[in-house]
Chain A
């Protein structure tokens, strides 16, 4: 499923990386620990987190993740947004909780299984 379909279905607010919304997503990783994301997320994953600081973008671009969903309506910090725009990394904001976001993504066929 493409990021833009997820944006539409979950009614996400796109704060950055508009031009990369055609990225294909098949897997996701949900964590608020950056080192955990580094250790376990895979390329092209969609990341679900409540962390709004700059390092979310740093980690996402390092791991070449497809995009970041911020939960509970949390908005990226100014520096975060600046870097996300620079790296064209999509940061998508949802008013829903992590449980709800992940549950719905799973319903779309996006899993957490490796490979």
Chain B
């Protein structure tokens, strides 16, 4: 990422991220009847310079080192912090964009702001400049990670690994009622092949064949398994179910032949094109089936375009 893009990303993030993404939730608090004489030790023990004063979760004020020093200077009697704390507070809501916090740091020059949960009205945490910075860094890191994955290039995987024979297997099981999953296995497989730098045209073929096979498993097979095996030259997809089997294999290969029930057709499936779509995407399609026992497809797609 060049610097300008990085800056834009940060700008986007300060609007995208919410205060709650940065606010520290575990906050050291004091009760209103904590005595001023205890304040120094408590703040020191926590290595902090101020603490929110709360009662039943509701923020009453903040007592800071400054309040303590003022109290000392005046030589006033010991009293509960509720009498000396600052009540005039600038607070932020947890659901506000982080950019508001940055603006407030700029405007008020405070070190921290209490964060209030908008729904409950209770203290949720505090936010400091440091928290903002950490939240941004974390978000950027995640984005970098996403980018790296997106750019991961495994094109040379099979050239790089050394073995007499090497192959990679992606195995999936397809649940029975998966028509609503929308070809989940096909999309996962598509993504994996993308990581490996396989040519987009080949990926499309694999995705189409897998998608149609997956729909068959869901609609007819009662679920099943899909295993995709890659070696340096081709991808072999094995699709198996223990469903009712196919009575007439030649017939299912005919475009337009369908045994689909009405509900399947209403969803735009069962047009009798599944197998011909698989056949058109693949170099080889082998169907073995026994009625009452199940069906197995062996699909071969070469990794080089013919």
Contacts and interface: CB of A to CB of B under 8 A. Distances in A.
Interface string A23-46: 000000000111110110001000
> Which label, helix, strand, loop or mixed, suits the secondary structure of the B interface?
helix
Interface in B245-295: 267-269, 271-274, 276-277, 280
A58 interface: yes
> Which label, helix, strand, loop or mixed, suits the secondary structure of the A interface?
helix
Interface stretch (A1-9, A48-56, A100-108): A48-56
Interface centre among A35, A49, A55 (most CB of B within 10 A): A35
A64 B203 CA distance: 11
Given A38-B277, A62-B204, A83-B182, A55 B187 contact: no
A84 to B, nearest CB: 11
B183 A35 contact: no
B207 interface: yes
A62 B186 contact: yes
B242 interface: no
Of the four ranges (under 10, 10 to 19, 20 to 34, 35 or more), the interface on chain B belongs to 20 to 34
Nearest to B208: A38
Contact of A34 (B181, B207, B268): B268
B182 A35 contact: no
B260 to A, nearest CB: 10
A54 B271 CA distance: 18
Given A35-B277, A36-B273, A38-B211, A58 B267 contact: no
A35 B274 contact: yes
Nearest to A31: B268
Contacts of A62: 183, 186-187, 190, 204, 207-208, 211
11 contacts: A33-B269, A35-B272, A35-B273, A35-B274, A38-B277, A58-B182, A58-B186, A58-B211, A62-B186, A63-B204, A79-B180
Given A35-B274, A36-B273, A64-B200, 15 more contacts: A33-B268, A33-B269, A33-B271, A35-B272, A38-B211, A38-B212, A43-B204, A53-B180, A57-B182, A58-B182, A58-B186, A58-B211, A59-B183, A62-B204, A79-B182
Interface of A: 32-36, 38-39, 43, 49, 51, 53-59, 61-64, 79, 83
